[in-house]
Amino acid sequence: MPITNLEPAEARQIVRTRRCSDCWETLQEHYDDRIRTSSISCITPGCPCRGHVSIEFVENALAESRLKRREVERILGETGAVAWIPKPVHRSEKAILAELGY
């Protein structure tokens, strides 16, 4: 569902600084010559595009998701619950320093 009846400058600002709230993809502007207003929709076909969120929100959410994934992979690797995740190799401080040449 596109966001309609925007001034072109306002629409361009939103497209530059915001993302779709449903799929986090880029927004696009559509200018209507007849009524001299713009509308905004998502670039993803079939996306309802019910709103928009800041690019910073999307970047922070993705970063948090990556951290959670690493933590889950670490835990699963330590427990051996998933065969394709290798168990971490625990080395002493002395062994690490020796590898580094100290």
Taking the CA atoms of 5, 10, 15 and 20 in sequence, report the sign of the dihedral they define: negative
pLDDT for res 84: 82
Question: What is the length of the chain?
Answer: 102
Q: Which domain holds residue 88?
A: 3-99
Q: Is the pLDDT of residue 20 over 90?
A: yes
Residues 38-60: tens digit of each pLDDT? 999 999 999 998 999 999 999 99
Predicted structure pTM score: 0.70
pLDDT for res 5: 85
- Number of structural domains the chain divides into: 1
Q: Which CA distances in Å does 61 have to 22, 27, 57, 65, 92?
A: 13, 18, 6, 6, 35
